[in-house]
Amino acid sequence: MESQYITFGAQLGDPKADKAVGQFITRISILLNKHCNKVYCKEVDEIAPTIFVDGNLWYWKFEGFQRLRLSKKHRYIEIHIGMPRERWEIVNTIKIKKYLISHLKTALELMIKRLKKEKYEVNEIDLWSDFAKVEEEFLINSHEN
Residue 142: per-residue pLDDT: 55
Q: What would the 3-class secondary structure string for the chain be?
A: CCCCCECCEEEECCHHHHHHHHHHHHHHHHHHHHHCCCCCCCCCCEEEEEEEECCCCCCCCCCEEEEEEEECCCCEEEEEEEECHHHCCCCCHHHHHHHHHHHHHHHHHHHHHHHHHCCCCCCHHHHHHHHHHHHHHHHHCCCCC
- Given a cut of 80, whether residue 49 has pLDDT beyond it is yes
Query: Domain residues of the chain, as ranges?
Result: 9-139
Confidence of residue 145 (pLDDT cuts 50, 70, 90): very low
Confidence of residue 141 (pLDDT cuts 50, 70, 90): low
Going by C-alpha positions, the residue among 79, 72, 93 that lies closest to residue 19 is 93
pLDDT tens for residues 92-132?
999 999 999 999 999 999 999 999 999 999 999 999 999 99
> Can you state the angle between helices 93-117 and 124-140, rounded to 10 degrees?
170
Cβ(133)–Cβ(35) under 8 Å? yes
